[in-house]
Every structure is written in C-alpha cells, then in structure tokens.
Amino acid sequence: MSDNSTPTGPLDAQSATPLYIQLAEIIAKQIASGSLAPDRPIPSENRLAEEYGVARLTARRATQELRDRGLVVTVRGKGSYVTPANGG
Amino acid sequence: MSDNSTPTGPLDAQSATPLYIQLAEIIAKQIASGSLAPDRPIPSENRLAEEYGVARLTARRATQELRDRGLVVTVRGKGSYVTPANGG
DNA sequence: TCAGATTTGTTCGTATGTATT
DNA sequence: CAATACATACGAACAAATCTG
C-alpha cells in the first residue's frame, strides 16, 4: 500500500530513519531539555509502546539505543533511569 | 470440523488462536456450565500456569481476558472471582 | 508490629514466527 | 536475503496487597 494513515504521533513511518531511532531521539531530547531529570525513571517499554503506537520490542530497541548512548541505565524488573549528570 | 479456532479441551500451541484466548475460553465455559460458581475464586495465575503448562503471564492474560468480558472480578493480593449473577 | 506465605501487578530479558520493505 | 516491525510466549526479578500466625 502506498497509502499510509496519518501518523497519530511524532513518529513518521515514512522516514528512512527507523522508528526505534526516532523514538530514542525524542526521549534523548526530553533528557537534554530536563523534561526527564537525572535519576528519574523514563516511561516503561509498555508505556512507550502505547504512547507512540509501536510494538513493545520497538520501544525496547529505543531504550537500548539510549543505553548505548549512556543516557539511561536499565534495571531488570524495575525500569530505565536517566543517567545522573555527576555520574553517580 | 477441521476448524479449531475455539478448542474446548487442552491447549493447542499450533492453533492460530493464541494460548491465552484458548485458556480464557476454557475457563469461560467452566463458568457458563456452573463448574465455577458465582462469587467463587478461579484458580490463581500460578495454579493455571501449572495446570495448563503455560507461563504465568500467559495465564494472567487469560484472566485479564475474562475481566474484559465481565466474567470475573480481580482483587490484588487475593484473586479473581466469578462475577455474581446479580451483577455485583 | 512483625515475619512469612500467597496472590496479583509491573517491568525488563529473551526467543520464535510472520509480514513488510 | 537483510533490516525493520509486530504479536505471541516464556523467563526472571521486583513490587504491593492480603491473610495468617
């Protein structure tokens, strides 16, 4: 289908940039702007999936991307937290 | 019938119908038949998981499906109970 | 009040299968 | 075929509520 429904959120399925990268960028900006403060949890994978209309695994990849960039630390069974600016 | 979309017995992992739907159907039938009476608790998530050889989360999804159908009410820390016929 | 067991609630970790591009 | 994306499913850990002793 060349037709594509209008994106319900800020994510653009037409973009050459993968959805999980787009989502990671959005969260990264929120961290940079202070909207998501150090030591505070970011939304859960399920929450992000619901919010942005993607699968949980896609939300998960976004979180992993943020980990690769050192922006968050993840704790199994708890969640992902914004990396403290002072490093601990 | 070659159709197996609504199995009445054991769970069929090969079926196109998800396991949690299959399990929900089984319990729903037990409620309809009176095998599980109103106001009585249904088996716990762990119990269902053991009984039917599925993961706890899969048993949990079945229970949530029953909640969506209004067949049971769930109380945290206690269990899920068959919805009373009088609608309570 | 406290400790322990049971049960539901939540979250991350991982794997498989299918569909689309 | 490869990368991306989604649905389902199992596993592990943590959390909160309930009940018993």
| Contact in structure between A71 and A84 (CB atoms under 8 Å) | no
- Which residue from A81, A87, A86 is spatially nearest to A31, judged by alpha carbons? A81
| Contact in structure between A54 and A11 (CB atoms under 8 Å) | yes
CB of B7 lies under 7 Å from some atom of strand D: no
Least confident of A31-40, A41-50, A77-86, B7-16: B7-16
Averaged pLDDT, B46-55: 94
More confident residue, A88 or A32: A32
Q: Which residue has tokens 């992993």?
A: A64
d(CA A61, CA A83): 18
Question: What pLDDT sits at residue A77?
Answer: 85
Share above pLDDT 70 across residues of chain A, in percent, rounded to a whole number? 86
Q: Work out the angle at residue A14's Cα, subtended by the Cα atoms of residues A10 and A17, and round it to the nearest 5 degrees.
A: 75
Q: Which residues contact A29 (CB under 8 A, 6 or more apart)?
A: none
pLDDT at B26 over 50: yes
CB of B58 lies under 7 Å from some atom of strand D: yes
Measure A78 CA to D18 C1' (Å): 23
Question: What pLDDT sits at residue A9?
Answer: 57
CB of B79 lies under 7 Å from some atom of strand D: no
Measure B35 CA to D4 C1' (Å): 47
Q: Which residue has tokens 């899969």?
A: B58
d(CA B86, CA A39): 49
Measure A73 CA to C17 C1' (Å): 31
Averaged pLDDT, B3-29: 78
- Going by pLDDT thresholds of 50, 70 and 90, the confidence category of residue A6 is very low
Nucleotide nearest to A44 (CA to C1'): C11
